[in-house]
Amino acid sequence: MHGPASPGWLLVALCAATGAYCLLRMRSTVEEQRRAAGGEALMGFGMAAMAVPATAFTPPPWAWPAYAVVFGAAALHALWAARAGAHHLHHLVGASAMVYMAVVMAASPGHHPASGGAGIPLLTGALLLYFTGYVLLSGLRLVPVPVAAGGAAGAWRDRPELARACRLSMGIGMVAMLLTL
């Protein structure tokens, strides 16, 4: 992404840690938890890869179209899963936002897309509004939930408040990434 290196590396660390925890959640005994964790792990690691500062690594020209294809497939999967429940619509919006950012980055690899006085494009503004609202609501919902006594391994992968914190951090990361467009 375009922007200063230090916040970029912090965003990489945040998204990679979130993706790693989501991989751990994929070992949950709750089937719905496992399904959601897989998509969230993909999103976390994809956001980490996209957030690597351009001063540290310039991706090859094929990388951005590849991101668009991967997250386009994730968006189609989320659209299909939305038939079972509306909570999958957030994954659809997130994956679509990743496709949008990959397309913008492919179109402007060496310069800031908003330069030239064009301002914030309408779609970027709409995505910023959505994810800002999502972050605010997620923050309000992040209230500790009592955990039933269990094994140490189960405690880490089945903690609902940790899953909410991961979703919150990915939402914050998405806002940060959209602001750099």
Q: How confident is the model at residue 94 (pLDDT cuts 50, 70, 90)?
A: very high
The secondary structure of residue 28, as a DSSP letter, is: -
3-class DSSP state of 11: helix
Residue pLDDT, tens place only, 18-33:
999 999 888 888 777 7
Higher pLDDT, 129 or 145: 129
- How far apart CA 69 and CA 98 sit, in angstroms, is 10
Backbone φ and ψ of 179, nearest 5°:
-65, -25
Residues 6+ apart with CB under 8 A from 2: 54, 111, 112, 113, 180, 181
Q: Identify residue 88 by its one-letter amino acid code.
A: H
- pLDDT the model gives residue 80: 92
Q: For residue 181, give both structure tokens.
A: 């467009």
- pLDDT category at 170 given cuts 50, 70, 90 is very high
Tokens of 120: 């914030």
Q: Is the pLDDT of residue 93 over 80?
A: yes
Q: Find how far residue 74's CA is from the centre of its chain.
A: 12
Note the pLDDT tens digit of each residue in 41-89: 999 999 999 989 888 888 888 999 999 999 999 999 999 988 887 878 9
Interval 131-156: pLDDT, tens: 999 999 988 887 665 655 555 445 55
